[in-house]
Amino acid sequence: MNLDLAGKVAVVTGGSSGIGLATTRLLLAEGAAVAICGRDEARLKAAKASLGAPADRLLAVRCNVRKESEVRDFAQAVERWKDACDILVNNAGQGRMSTFANTDDDAWREELELKFFSQIYPVRAFKPLLDRSKAAAILAVNALLAYQPEPYMVCTSAARAGVQNLVKSLAAEFAPAIRVNAIMLGLIDSGQWQRRFAAREDQNQSREQWYGDLARSRHIPLERLGEPDEVARAIAFLVSPAASFITGAQLEISGGVSRYM
Ligand code: NDP
């Protein structure tokens, strides 16, 4: 299948690690030009080096998606670079492990702000460029937690549910010009889980043991965590013209872990 991504301009927030990096690599391989952002300059530099794309195909900009002025500057940099944006992948972020009992008000505000404004600010900043595209698509990287909250991720789950609602509203409001879809992730072996593995309680536990226990404890039918590449392939399809009649949809990428119908 031809995804028809050659020549498109894509923006991937949080493109310096994990799912965002894998998505950037795949979009580049499909012929798109990609602009990525992240907060950490060194991580961006390393990502740029590992991707090895020329300056007319890859732009890396330091930007915290929680800061509207930085997101606006990022959009202006993309405008100067290509004067176009066909694809926006809102991927930047991370989950918060917490229960209701140990989540204070500041943590609630921080989490709601991260989950909502990591979508709202980029959509607002890139909308004028997306409006000029003939194949515009927005993709929200979201989590299964939106529908299936976990007891140890109380405030992230609640925020994820709100984001899913927002995606539906955007899909209706922006149609027919811009398609808006979401992916619902289960557990993916990216930076977040690698950091948790590095900080594991029992430092003698091997990678295989630790990840195996994790997959078993979460009852993942495919018996493992997903790989960033497996998510990237779904993202590339949903943002491509090959998915031209898909909007307001959610695609679950979880190894079958959902229990809801
Ligand atoms: P990684 O930690 O590997 O990558 C996260 C990326 O987002 C990095 O490039 C990071 O760069 C960037 N980032 C984080 N916060 C910000 C910010 N405020 N502004 C700009 N960039 C930011 O994790 P994943 O690849 O797993 O995460 C990708 C998305 O998938 C996240 O939104 C995450 O919540 C979501 N997700 C992941 C799941 C999983 O199991 N892996 C499950 C469910 C959802 P830097 O730190 O330099 O800013």
Residue 117 belongs to a domain = yes
What is the atom index within ligand 1 of the atom nearest the CA of 195?
2
Model confidence pLDDT, tens digit, residues 197-240: 999 999 999 999 999 999 999 999 999 999 999 999 999 999 99
The pLDDT of residue 255 is 97
Residue 245 belongs to a domain = yes
45 alpha carbon – ligand 1 mean position (Å): 16
Instruction: Tell whether ligand 1 has an atom less than 6 A from the beta carbon of residue 16.
Output: yes
Where does the pLDDT of residue 260 fall: very low under 50, low under 70, confident under 90, or very high at 90 and above?
confident
The secondary structure of residue 225, as a DSSP letter, is: P
Residue nearest to atom 10 of ligand 1 (CA): 14
68 and 135 part of one domain: yes
The answer on pLDDT for 191 being more than 90 is no
Residue 258 belongs to a domain = no
Name the residue range of residue 211's domain: 189-225
Least confident of 11-25, 62-76, 195-209: 195-209
Residues 6+ apart with CB under 8 A from 169: none
For the chain, the average pLDDT equals: 97
Model confidence pLDDT, tens digit, residues 109-161: 999 999 999 999 999 999 999 999 999 999 999 999 999 999 999 999 999 99
200 and 147 part of one domain: no
Residues 6+ apart with CB under 8 A from 208: none
60 and 151 part of one domain: yes
Q: What angle do CA 10, 14, 19 make, to 5 degrees?
A: 85
Residue 3 belongs to a domain = no
The pLDDT of residue 228 is 98
231 and 214 part of one domain: no
Instruction: Tell whether ligand 1 has an atom less than 6 A from the beta carbon of residue 103.
Output: no
The pLDDT of residue 192 is 84
**Best residue among 16, 164, 190 to mutate for probing ligand 1, ranked by most atoms within 8 Å of CB:** 190
158 and 54 part of one domain: yes
Cα torsion 123, 174, 86, 187 to 10°: value is 60
Is 126:170 a contact under the CB 8 Å cutoff? Answer: no
Residue 2 belongs to a domain = no
195 and 107 part of one domain: no
Residue 111 burial (C-beta neighbours within 10 Å; 0-12, 13-18, 19+) = buried
Model confidence pLDDT, tens digit, residues 36-65: 999 999 999 999 999 999 999 999 999 999
The pLDDT of residue 261 is 84
Residue 260 burial (C-beta neighbours within 10 Å; 0-12, 13-18, 19+) = exposed
Residue 260 belongs to a domain = no
The secondary structure of residue 249, as a DSSP letter, is: -
**Best residue among 36, 45, 94, 147 to mutate for probing ligand 1, ranked by most atoms within 8 Å of CB:** 94
Residue 244 belongs to a domain = yes
Residue 259 belongs to a domain = no
At residue 239, the 3 state secondary structure works out as: helix
Q: What percent of the chain has pLDDT over 70?
A: 100
239 alpha carbon – ligand 1 mean position (Å): 19
93 and 171 part of one domain: yes
84 and 115 part of one domain: yes
113 and 75 part of one domain: yes
With tokens 């894509």, the residue in question is 10
Residue nearest to atom 1 of ligand 1 (CA): 191
The answer on pLDDT for 21 being more than 90 is yes
117 and 211 part of one domain: no
Cα distances (angstroms) measured from residue 147 to each of 180, 187, 256: 19, 15, 14
The pLDDT of residue 7 is 98
φ/ψ of residue 125, rounded to 5: -70, -35
The 10 Å CB-count burial string (b at 16+, else e) for 68-83 is eebbbbbbebbeebbe
86 and 111 part of one domain: yes
Largest CA distance in the chain: 55
Instruction: Tell whether ligand 1 has an atom less than 6 A from the beta carbon of residue 157.
Output: no
Domain containing residue 122: CATH number: 3.40.50.720
Instruction: Tell whether ligand 1 has an atom less than 6 A from the beta carbon of residue 141.
Output: yes
Instruction: Tell whether ligand 1 has an atom less than 6 A from the beta carbon of residue 185.
Output: yes
User: How far from the centroid of its chain's Cα atoms is residue 72's Cα?
Assistant: 19
- Domain count for the chain, please give it: 2
183 and 197 part of one domain: no
Instruction: Tell whether ligand 1 has an atom less than 6 A from the beta carbon of residue 194.
Output: no
Dist CA 249 CA 203 (whole Å)? 41
Average pLDDT over residues 167-180: 98
Residue nearest to atom 14 of ligand 1 (CA): 93
Dist CA 183 CA 143 (whole Å)? 7
What is the atom index within ligand 1 of the atom nearest the CA of 95?
34
Instruction: Tell whether ligand 1 has an atom less than 6 A from the beta carbon of residue 139.
Output: no
